[in-house]
């Protein structure tokens, strides 16, 4: 039985690249996040990750600058993926004033 290509789901478009101002530690801290998740860029072999406190750097520090300078403490590779640890963000209040629980 032959398939009709028109039956395939539409191709997903890639989202447009972000072109705004760079994300800084000050912006992340304004959302209640003080720690960063760091993943080794040599992920095929190393798989090392860590949670670090970002209080040592000033608010003006750009997150992408930390990517380029991070050194893996396991394999020594320079460069990493650095992301905010959003899981530590405080729970928002609901419209009724109760705290909601995040999964």
Q: Where are the domains of the chain?
A: 35-88
Q: What is the DSSP letter of 81?
A: E
More confident residue, 48 or 45: 48
Of 58, 49, 52, 71, the closest CA to residue 25 belongs to 58
Mean pLDDT of 15-29: 87
Q: What is the pTM of this model?
A: 0.68
Given pLDDT bands bounded at 50, 70 and 90, which one contains residue 28?
A: very high
pLDDT for res 78: 87
Give the burial string for 9-44 (b: 16+ CB within 10 Å, else e).
Answer: eeeeeeeeeeeeeeebbeebeeeebebbbbbbbbee
């Amino acid at each position: 039985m032959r398939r009709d290509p028109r039956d395939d789901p539409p191709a997903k478009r890639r989202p447009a690249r972000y072109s705004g101002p760079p994300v800084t530690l000050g912006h992340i801290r304004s959302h209640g996040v003080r720690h960063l998740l760091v993943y080794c860029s040599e992920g095929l072999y190393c798989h090392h990750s860590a949670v670090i406190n970002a209080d040592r750097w000033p608010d003006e520090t750009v997150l992408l600058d930390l990517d380029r300078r991070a050194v893996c403490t396991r394999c020594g590779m320079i460069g990493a993926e650095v992301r905010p640890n959003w899981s530590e963000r405080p729970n928002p209040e609901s419209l009724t004033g109760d705290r909601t629980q995040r999964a």
